[in-house]
Structure 1
Amino acid sequence: MADHLDLLIAMMDEARRIGLIEETAPDPNRAPAPAPDQENASGIDSFLRAT
């Protein structure tokens, strides 16, 4: 599992390096996203909260 996470991080870093992903500051005028429903969270949501 850790190997998969390392690969994902490396892919995200490369995407940032070549400009596919822009680093931006949060917009202070935008309302925060609502909190996800803990009981109905999908597997990926649960995984992301756990990391």
Structure 2
Amino acid sequence: MSDLKLFEEEDGSYRYAVLRDETYEISNYKSIASTAWFVIASKLKNVVWR
């Protein structure tokens, strides 16, 4: 979790993705929700999805 701090923007947000991908419509816009989903999916998967 502490590694996430490396990717934090000055305003506290994180990017949805590092690179844009037009094929899959993935953007690299700033977001807070994307980081929350990362934490849920990777760190809390055994708690949330049983």
- TM, length-normalised to structure 1: 0.27
- TM, length-normalised to structure 2: 0.28
More strand by share: 2
Pick the structure with greater CA Rg: 1
More helix by share: 1
